[in-house]
């Protein structure tokens, strides 16, 4: 793929991501390659590449012989994932405090700064990825690759719901809570750090809004 093709593919991915996140495309909507190719004025090959990238991000589902569809997130699954995360991450935070170093704190502060930058740039998918990666990064800094992989899998399972249903205000609040958690870790205040982490995960789940307006299944209208 040459530079121009990769740039075009990124533009298609960005446009479809925004349409899904902004609820202009309904979960379950079929994304016909030819309609998308006509809309963007590109080949079906480039559309296919964009759809593959979106499937990797779990925003769409590719079904053999049927095509691409906007993913339909399972709310109940996300609730179960958050329950498991609270169990795991309370203990992770406890262990992190006990062995915390200045280098680890500096790394987490840098990560929180990246979250803030993504929000300033109105990078919705970027901010969602960074907000989730904060938790994985804690496990990585502890040197626990199994926990990091497990958390990464759990977070990816509810990432679409977070991406679609977390408002900008809630995301900013989430990042602020990350900063507070880092402060508690830096102070080696185990009790406060564990409490803040648990409350943070409860807040993220509670702030998901499922009452947005009904989106459309018309691709051209959604992308206009």
Q: 145-165 and 75-98 helices cross at what angle (nearest 10)?
A: 140
Of the candidates 158, 159, 156, 202, the residue with the CA atom closest to the CA atom of residue 177 = 202
Query: In this predicted structure, what is the pLDDT of residue 46?
Result: 95
Instruction: For 156-208, write each residue's pLDDT tens digit.
Output: 777 777 777 777 788 899 999 999 999 999 999 999 999 999 999 999 998 88
- Sequence ranges of the domains in the chain: 3-72, 75-206
Query: In this predicted structure, what is the pLDDT of residue 224?
Result: 63
Q: pTM to 2 decimals?
A: 0.72
The CATH-assigned architecture of domain 75-206 is Up-down Bundle (1.20)
User: Using the 8-state DSSP alphabet, how is residue 207 labeled?
Assistant: T
What kind of fold does domain 3-72 have according to CATH? Arc Repressor Mutant, subunit A (1.10.10)
Mean residue pLDDT across the chain: 88
Quick one: pLDDT band at residue 214, thresholds 50, 70, 90? very low
Quick one: pLDDT band at residue 105, thresholds 50, 70, 90? very high
């Amino acid at each position: 793929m040459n530079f121009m093709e990769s740039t075009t593919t990124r533009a298609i991915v960005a446009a479809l991501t925004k349409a899904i996140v902004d609820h202009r495309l309904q979960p379950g909507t079929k994304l016909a390659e030819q309609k998308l190719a006509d809309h963007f004025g590109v080949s079906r090959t480039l559309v296919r590449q964009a759809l593959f990238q979106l499937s990797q991000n779990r925003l769409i589902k590719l079904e053999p012989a049927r095509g691409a569809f906007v993913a339909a997130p399972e709310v109940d699954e996300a609730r179960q994932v958050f329950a498991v995360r609270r169990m795991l991450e309370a203990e992770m935070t406890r262990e992190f405090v006990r062995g915390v170093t200045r280098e680890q704190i500096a790394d987490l502060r840098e990560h929180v700064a990246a979250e803030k930058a993504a929000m300033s740039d109105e990078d919705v998918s970027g901010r969602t990825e960074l907000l989730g990666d904060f938790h994985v990064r804690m496990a990585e800094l502890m040197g626990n690759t199994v926990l990091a992989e497990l958390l990464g899998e759990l977070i990816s399972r509810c990432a679409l719901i977070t991406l679609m249903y977390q408002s900008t205000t809630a995301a900013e609040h989430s990042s602020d809570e990350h900063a507070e958690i880092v402060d508690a870790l830096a102070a080696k205040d185990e009790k406060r750090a564990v409490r803040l982490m648990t409350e943070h995960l409860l807040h993220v789940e509670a702030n998901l809004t499922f009452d947005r307006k009904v989106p459309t299944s018309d691709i051209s209208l959604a992308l206009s």
